[in-house]
Amino acid sequence: MRFIARHRKFFNVTIAIVCILLFSFFAIRTITSGGHEVRTQVYTGIAMGTAIKKTIYAEDITVSDRVDKMIDETLQELENQISVRKNNSEISKLNSSYVTGGTNKLSDNVLQCLEVEIQVWRETEGAFSPCIYPITSLWGIEEGLAEIPDEALLQERILSSDANNIEVVEDGIILNQENMAIDLGAVGKGLACDMVKEQLMQTEIRGAVVSIGGSILAYGDKGDGKDWHIGIQDPRNQTGEVLGIIDVDGDVVVSTSGDYEKYFELDGKRYHHIFDPITGYPADNGLISVSVVSDSGLLSDALSTACFVLGLEEGMNYVQEKGVEAVFVTSDMNVYVTKGLKKKFRLKSDEYTLVK
């Protein structure tokens, strides 16, 4: 089990790529729309530490190839800005060199992320933190560690993860506590979807579905006038197994947070990578997956994480206040959907019950 926990990220990415490749083989096809042929081209790869899949609908395959390259360049640029695992990224430089109480200038993308994260942190009364890295790095689950950290040290890290110590100024931030570290991992893939959407709007493609780990962008249309069908990962089965399908219009992002991607088990308990900033431990409130549908990838990514920490009741109330739709999956294998998805969500697994 320790070996599996240490290498789970590699296994999940590998399985995801295999599933993507198999799907791609069958997905390439041509749709006739208005007398024009809309060709489907599927591209796969790895970026931002996860599997990427880009399904592009265009009349000209050379356009699809060019758009694929453009998306890759966009993701690489963003990763170089926000990745805490790249020593030369903007975030890593901030974390390693900030002076307590001093102003740290940030690029527009990074500052936009932080402003949204701080807003969510305030609205959820601390269930979500943009400076969670001192806690996540101590646990080291993403790096393959499978041990509960020392309690005294964990309490110190909790103090360093308090977003009360962040001030947003005109062109940057001030960190008022030592040993703080910003981590945009909870919103990075959603932001990537937003950046890709902005790029796609400048092209002549008909539509696209871009999957970046747990965030999926549906853009435009595929030429048949029908909704996009976005699959939600079954949190208790292998990668590629679908819990249900959400029918969505174009230009939305569906982001999913769950306890199944990165975790270890000890004495029959699962310790996963989504932490409650207040306790310093993985969130444990009966949820195993939350998916949020929004026209903002940044918001959908942040809310899926925040709601996972909040739990079913508070999370459901929060997404309704924010005017977005969501799917909540509980450990007793029940599925709850917000009002706007009642007719747009289809349960596909017999192992779960859709609560009306």
DSSP annotation string for 280-327: SSB--SSEEEEEEEES-HHHHHHHHHHHHHH-HHHHHHHHHHHT-EEE
Beta strands in the chain, from DSSP E residues, in sequence order: 30-33, 36-47, 50-58, 103-105, 166-169, 172-175, 207-212, 215-220, 228-233, 242-248, 252-258, 263-266, 269-272, 287-294, 325-330, 334-337, 345-347, 353-354
The kind and range of the H/E element at 193 are helix 185-200
Give CA–CA dist 173/34, Å, rounded: 51
- Residue whose structure tokens are 């289809």: 346
What is the predicted pLDDT for the residue at 23?
41
- Going from N- to C-terminal start, the domains of the chain cover 90-186
Could you say which residues of the chain have pLDDT below 50?
1-28, 33, 35
| Measured CA distances, 102 to 89, 130, 163, 177, 235 (Å) | 20, 18, 16, 11, 43
What is the predicted pLDDT for the residue at 208?
97
What is the predicted pLDDT for the residue at 186?
92
The burial class, CB within 10 Å (0-12 / 13-18 / 19+), for 267 is exposed
What is the predicted pLDDT for the residue at 25?
36
For 209-224, the pLDDT digits (tens) are 999 999 999 999 988 8
Contact partners, residue 334, CB within 8 Å, separation at least 6: 352, 353, 354, 355
CATH homologous superfamily for the domain 90-186: ApbE-like superfamily (1.10.3980.10)
Query: How open is the CA angle 233-234-235, to the nearest 5 degrees?
Result: 100
Instruction: List beta partners, residue 215.
Output: 212, 255
What is the predicted pLDDT for the residue at 19?
43
What is the predicted pLDDT for the residue at 304?
98
Instruction: List beta partners, residue 335.
Output: 329, 354
